[in-house]
Chain A
Amino acid sequence: EAQVTQNPRYLITVTGKKLTVTCSQNMNHEYMSWYRQDPGLGLRQIYYSMNVEVTDKGDVPEGYKVSRKEKRNFPLILESPSPNQTSLYFCASSSSPQGVYEQYFGPGTRLTVT
């Protein structure tokens, strides 16, 4: 089954404790991205990756890091989480960044930083 998986689905952590949210896709997609969803703000792009070892900032990259060492994986790293990073996070992948192709979304990771 074609899918995007994220782990963990739920995470509660404390300020400053480094964490990683994993994202993996099995569709051989080149393009992957991370979004955060906040009430009243919709989804905003954090980082994206055009291919292995190629990443770039989205609209809200502050406080986040990413890496793309393998085509299928695109982990999101919060090196020193803060309460304003409490949010619902989605990973997505697509055949191409160009809009004609559908983006497939993971199930989401709900992060709470206390």
Chain B
Amino acid sequence: AQSVTQLGSHVSVSEGALVLLRCNYSSSVPPYLFWYVQYPNQGLQLLLKYTSAATLVKGINGFEAEFKKSETSFHLTKPSAHMSDAAEYFCAVSGPGGGADGLTFGKGTHLIIQP
């Protein structure tokens, strides 16, 4: 069984500061990892994904994440926060196949940007 743990249900940063959202996973097989963003009153939008290619993955809106197998982590970062980054962020893991594993989501981290 696979699982995802997001550390911190709420993270607050100042505009222009570094954004770091933490995600740790457990999986019995090499995972595929995703970060999704949910803006208020909207559905989920894919930010980036790791699918066993480069360990540093670049996504939309200046976000990137690094897959670290030894730490079973896939933390999301952005060098400089913008007010428009305020949203809910979800880390998710999926197995590589062998059935409809679908996505297992973390509980989400609400990112607050302070002016």
Listed in ascending order, the chain A residues whose CB lies under 8 Å from chain B are 4, 31, 33, 35, 40-45, 48, 50, 56, 58, 90, 92, 97-100, 102-103, 105-108
Contact = CB atoms under 8 A, between A and B. Distances in A.
A103 B45 CA distance: 9
B103 A42 contact: no
25 contacts: A33-B100, A40-B9, A40-B107, A42-B105, A43-B44, A43-B90, A43-B103, A43-B105, A45-B103, A48-B102, A50-B100, A56-B100, A90-B44, A97-B99, A97-B102, A99-B32, A99-B51, A99-B94, A99-B97, A102-B49, A103-B46, A103-B103, A105-B44, A106-B43, A108-B42
Q: How large is the interface on B (under 10, 10 to 19, 20 to 34, 35 or more residues)?
A: 20 to 34
Interface of B: 9, 31-32, 34, 36, 41-46, 49, 51, 90, 93-97, 99-103, 105-108
Contacts, number: 66
A39 to B, nearest CB: 9
Contacts of B101: 97, 99
Contacts of A102: 34, 46, 49
A100 B100 contact: no
